[in-house]
């Protein structure tokens, strides 16, 4: 699954630089996550870094973007192969 940021976000700016895939960006009102770039940090870290640094716990799994660890790892390989 990709992660998502809920409307509880307080725009504290800590999640964006923590994302190794640059999947987090400032939306119109709150930060948002590009699901095509989110690998839940698979390939980089053991746990999603945005969830680790978020002070209000507003970054849950996106139920509309169900992905296996294998799919997330394949996405990681695709994203890092182009860099």
* pLDDT tens sequence across 31-56: 999 999 999 999 999 999 999 999 99
**Domain 15-81 in this protein, CATH class:** alpha beta
Asked if pLDDT for residue 82 goes beyond 80, the answer is no
Name which of 26, 45, 36 is nearest 2 in CA terms: 36
Instruction: Please give the biggest Cα pair distance in the chain.
Output: 34
Burial (CB count <10 Å: 0-12, 13-18, 19+), residue 61: middle
- In 10 A of CB 47, how many CB atoms? 9
Q: Half-sphere exposure of 7 toward its Cβ, with a 13 Å CA cutoff?
A: 1
Domain boundary assignment for the chain = 15-81
Q: What is the mean pLDDT of the chain?
A: 95
**Against a cut of 0.95, is the pTM above it?**
no
Give CA–CA dist 18/76, Å, rounded.
Answer: 16
């Amino acid at each position: 699954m990709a992660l998502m940021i809920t409307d509880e976000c307080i725009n504290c700016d800590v999640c964006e630089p923590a994302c190794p895939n640059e999947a987090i960006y400032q939306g119109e009102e709150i930060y948002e996550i590009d699901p095509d770039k989110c690998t839940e940090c698979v390939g980089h870290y053991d746990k999603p870094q945005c969830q680790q640094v978020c002070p209000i716990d507003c970054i849950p799994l996106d139920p509309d973007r169900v992905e296996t660890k294998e799919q997330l790892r394949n996405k990681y390989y695709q994203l890092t192969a182009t860099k």
